[in-house]
Structure 1
Amino acid sequence: MKKNNNKNEVNIEDYGFIKYGEFYHDVHIHLVNGEVLTTLENEDLPENKTIFHEFRNTKNRFLNIVVGIDGFASIPKDKILYITVYNVRKI
Structure 2
Amino acid sequence: MRTGNEPVNARSPLRLRFWLSVWGLLWAGLGTAAFAVAGRPGWAAACGALLVLACVDLAMIVRHLRQGPHYQPGRDVPPYEPDRGNPR
Between Structure 1 and Structure 2, the one with more strand by share is 1
TM-score when normalising by structure 1: 0.27
Q: Which protein, 1 or 2, shows the higher relative CO under an 8 Å CA cutoff with sep ≥ 6?
A: 2
Between Structure 1 and Structure 2, the one with more helix by share is 2
TM-score when normalising by structure 2: 0.27
Asked which structure has the greater CA Rg, the reply is 2
